[in-house]
Chain A
Amino acid sequence: MITQPAIQGADAELISASWSQPEAFAELFDRYSAMLYRYVSKRLGPEPAEDLVGETFLVAFSRRKSYDLGYPDARPWLFGILTKLMARHHRTEAARYRALRRAPIDLDVESPADRVAAGATARAAGPALAGALAALPAKDRDVLLLIAWGDLTYEEAAQALDIPIGTVRSRLNRGRRKVRAALGDTNPMLRGQE
């Protein structure tokens, strides 16, 4: 009983419960802090990730009463807050990708097998992808990575960034074109594919 979440059901129910029972909000942290941490660590590395996740939840908590309960899933809302907070780090992020373009990815020997496997496929394409990401405008990168690394749908990305879905599509297409171009340079199998 103790290790199970005290609250089940949609995030919206949880947030609405937290309006009168603030501690209910802690459950939202338990649900999503690890996911947000992984996302930040992909874009900025592990150093600023902990603090950014903490700040995201501080902001979310203070705004919990303006959450639109019509959205059962709180992930887009949290990613939206996080994206705004990460905007301060865009330069660090670009510098990180530029460094990754030059150096091979430092693979952790103790990584779980699936991560090593993923690393192996990504290793070849890594420098090229890092170069493409470094060159992307911040807004296009936000959309591309919310979808590729944050696992959001187009609709959820639109909700997170508070932009029309058409804008999500056009930014995503721009980003993907550059990614494909970069991959095409290293992997002829992908060339010419739409």
Chain B
Amino acid sequence: MDDDLRTLRDFGDSLGHEPPATLVRQRERMLRARPRRRGFGWTMTALVAVVTAAVVAVPTLLISSWETVPPPVGQRPADVRGALNVLLVGTDSQAGSPRFAQGARTDTMIMLHLPADRKKVTAINIPRDSWVRIPRCGSEPARTGMINSAFDRGGLSCAVKTVETLTDVRIDHMIEVDFAGFKQVVDALGGVEVTLAQPVDDPKSKLRLPAGKSLLNGEQALGYMRLRYYGDGSDIQRIKRQQKLIQAMAKKAKRTLGDPAELRAFMAVAAKSVKTDEALDMESMIELVSSLEGASVTFRTVPWQPRPDNPRTIQWKQPEADRLFATLR
């Protein structure tokens, strides 16, 4: 750098200030401002889609490769009769994705609450970077850490135990879905058919489809799920598109049942992407999925705030968080 620019730079350095700790408030401001439901909505739909497709196919074939997990041991919150609480853990094992450079896998944690009448389902998003008390799980001693580490280190039953301890809400079932599996499930189904009123040309997802009927492969189906700037661009339309896609998947899955070879291929994939607890039988699974499709689902997020000593992680805001969970007990 030439002398004049260097002198100018030094002058700038003498004027500059280091950021104060309060700059973190601006990070919070940005995170608050973001429309939370967009990403969450997609995640939710993908979960429901995979579970639906699996559920439709499973009853005819009781497969042993369907992995189940034993429930946590020890004292547990009271089981409220009639209500059903399910912990959904979405994981993403996409190798090479920058988000998983350090091997973290938990992508989403959602607590689904189905009241006795099953009319209004509440889906509570549990931020994965929540800093919480994690109870003793097997050989792992009790400790404080990020909630997703309960799952990453202790598995599904440790995640359930942690959530139960924190919320005092009894978790009846747990389902783990691998998102990478969504694409594979669609491909295993031999694609899924959609009918479009107008062509799609979305540079963001690189999705290009003509008007009329199209058979989407896994990659395209994923792009279609995420598609936003299409039609009137509204969220409502997007949700409708996603529901249609799920219905189409269910239809395709039903048809696939007729062909034993295809069914076997599909089940191998579905079994790899979905893990449940032992007690979640097909009846409950079907009930769960049908109530999700019919009922009105309210999406909430556990009230939170950045941790003062490490703003990379967050802590639950009390008493707001407790109040939210009290409504589910």
Q: Top 3 nearest A-B pairs by Cβ distance?
A: A54-B26, A119-B14, A37-B19
Taking a contact as CB atoms under 8 Å apart, the answer to whether B102 and A1 are in contact is yes
Taking a contact as CB atoms under 8 Å apart, the answer to whether B8 and A148 are in contact is yes
Which residues of A from 115 to 153 have beta carbons under 8 Å from B? 115, 118-119, 121-123, 125-126, 129-130, 144-145, 147-149
Taking a contact as CB atoms under 8 Å apart, the answer to whether A38 and B23 are in contact is no
Question: CB-CB < 8 A to B22: which residues of A?
Answer: 50
Taking a contact as CB atoms under 8 Å apart, the answer to whether A6 and B12 are in contact is no
Which residues of B from 17 to 67 have beta carbons under 8 Å from A? 17-20, 22-23, 25-27, 29-31, 33-36, 38-39, 42
**A37 vs B20: C-alpha distance in the bound complex, in angstroms?**
9
Known A20-B39, A21-B99, A129-B7; contact A42-B23, beta-carbon cutoff 8 A: no
What are 24 A-B pairs at a CB distance below 8 A?
A: A1-B104, A2-B310, A2-B312, A2-B313, A6-B104, A13-B98, A17-B98, A20-B226, A21-B107, A24-B99, A34-B23, A37-B23, A39-B16, A42-B12, A42-B15, A46-B20, A51-B26, A54-B25, A57-B27, A61-B33, A122-B10, A126-B11, A148-B12, A149-B8
Taking a contact as CB atoms under 8 Å apart, the answer to whether A30 and B312 are in contact is yes
Known A147-B5, A183-B7; contact A34-B13, beta-carbon cutoff 8 A: no
Known A2-B313, A7-B101; contact A50-B23, beta-carbon cutoff 8 A: yes
CB of B204 closer than 8 Å to a CB of A = yes
CB of A89 closer than 8 Å to a CB of B = no
- CB contact between B30 and one of A2, A25, A125 (< 8 Å): that residue: A25
Question: CB-CB < 8 A to B42: which residues of A?
Answer: 20
**A194 vs B312: C-alpha distance in the bound complex, in angstroms?**
48
**A110 vs B103: C-alpha distance in the bound complex, in angstroms?**
41
Question: CB-CB < 8 A to A17: which residues of B?
Answer: 97-99
Would you give the shortest CB distance from B16 to chain A, in whole angstroms? 4
**A26 vs B7: C-alpha distance in the bound complex, in angstroms?**
34
Known A2-B312, A2-B313; contact A179-B8, beta-carbon cutoff 8 A: yes
Known A122-B10, A129-B8, A147-B5; contact A58-B312, beta-carbon cutoff 8 A: no
CB of A174 closer than 8 Å to a CB of B = no
Question: CB-CB < 8 A to B145: which residues of A?
Answer: 2
CB of B232 closer than 8 Å to a CB of A = no
Question: CB-CB < 8 A to A102: which residues of B?
Answer: none
In addition to A9-B98, A50-B22, A57-B26, 8 A-B residue pairs with Cβ atoms within 8 Å of each other are A6-B102, A30-B27, A33-B23, A41-B16, A105-B15, A118-B10, A176-B4, A183-B7
Known A7-B98, A20-B226, A190-B4; contact A34-B11, beta-carbon cutoff 8 A: no
**A52 vs B145: C-alpha distance in the bound complex, in angstroms?**
33
Taking a contact as CB atoms under 8 Å apart, the answer to whether A122 and B11 are in contact is yes
Known A105-B15, A176-B5; contact A2-B146, beta-carbon cutoff 8 A: yes
Question: CB-CB < 8 A to A65: which residues of B?
Answer: 204
Question: CB-CB < 8 A to B35: which residues of A?
Answer: 22
Question: CB-CB < 8 A to B97: which residues of A?
Answer: 17
Would you give the shortest CB distance from A83 to chain B, in whole angstroms? 15
Interface residues of A (CB under 8 A from B): 1-4, 6-9, 13-14, 17, 19-26, 29-30, 33-34, 37-39, 41-42, 45-46, 49-51, 53-54, 57-58, 61-62, 65, 100, 105, 107, 115, 118-119, 121-123, 125-126, 129-130, 144-145, 147-149, 176, 179-180, 183, 190, 193
Taking a contact as CB atoms under 8 Å apart, the answer to whether A179 and B4 are in contact is yes
Taking a contact as CB atoms under 8 Å apart, the answer to whether A22 and B8 are in contact is no
Question: CB-CB < 8 A to A149: which residues of B?
Answer: 8-9, 12, 16
Known A58-B33, A148-B5, A183-B4; contact A115-B14, beta-carbon cutoff 8 A: yes
**A48 vs B177: C-alpha distance in the bound complex, in angstroms?**
46
**A13 vs B15: C-alpha distance in the bound complex, in angstroms?**
34
Question: CB-CB < 8 A to A105: which residues of B?
Answer: 14-15
Question: CB-CB < 8 A to B259: which residues of A?
Answer: none
Would you give the shortest CB distance from B143 to chain A, in whole angstroms? 12
Question: CB-CB < 8 A to A22: which residues of B?
Answer: 34-36, 38-39
**A149 vs B36: C-alpha distance in the bound complex, in angstroms?**
36
Would you give the shortest CB distance from A127 to chain B, in whole angstroms? 10
**A39 vs B3: C-alpha distance in the bound complex, in angstroms?**
20
Would you give the shortest CB distance from B261 to chain A, in whole angstroms? 34
Question: CB-CB < 8 A to A179: which residues of B?
Answer: 4, 7-8
Question: CB-CB < 8 A to A1: which residues of B?
Answer: 102, 104, 149
Question: CB-CB < 8 A to B14: which residues of A?
Answer: 105, 107, 115, 118-119, 122-123, 126
Question: CB-CB < 8 A to B38: which residues of A?
Answer: 22
Question: CB-CB < 8 A to A121: which residues of B?
Answer: 7, 10
